[in-house]
Amino acid sequence: MDLVIKPTICEEQKDAAGTVIAPAAFSGTVTIKLPTMPESYRFKAKYGRRSVGLDTKSEADVAMASLEMIADISEEIKPFFTKVELTDVGNGKQIASVDELYSYEPAFSVIAEVAMKFIQGFAEKN
């Protein structure tokens, strides 16, 4: 089953009153193949184990460990992307493939956002 995701960078940033404080940096969506239950549990167990004990480390160590973990997850989830349809609003650059997404630094937050969904789950929280 596929899931279409509108990344956070494709939404206007608003303050608590609902006033737009920054326009969307990108427009579009990415589509991923949802992981199966075993795949999902393996991701959560594998990367959950790596976060054990981080609360006893310095802020710098935690930051570096977190970056490394996001990079590792990002490599592992790349095959789950099935469609990329993003446009950088600032310059009009279109990103239409997974390789383009993984090579265009202004869009790296999209990959990180999807990576976190693999760890936190895809169910909507109410």
Only one residue has tokens 């310059």, namely: 91
User: What pLDDT does 85 receive?
Assistant: 98
Domain limits of the chain?
Answer: 2-120
What is the phi-psi region of residue 112: left when phi exceeds 0, alpha when psi lies from -120 to 50, beta otherwise? alpha
- Point out the residues of the chain with pLDDT beneath 50: 126
Query: Quick one: pLDDT at residue 104?
Result: 98
Q: What is the pLDDT of residue 59?
A: 82
Structure confidence at residue 96 (pLDDT): 98
Report the mean per-residue pLDDT for the chain: 90
- Exposed/middle/buried for 95, CB within 10 Å: 0-12, 13-18, 19+? buried
pLDDT at 65: 82
Which residue type occupies 67? L
Contacts of 118 by beta carbon, 8 Å cutoff, 6+ apart: 35, 40, 43, 73, 77, 80
Backbone angles phi, psi at 94, to 5 degrees: -95, 135
Whole-model pTM: value is 0.86
What is the Cα–Cα distance from 5 to 29, expressed in whole angstroms?
A: 6
> What pLDDT score does 126 carry?
43
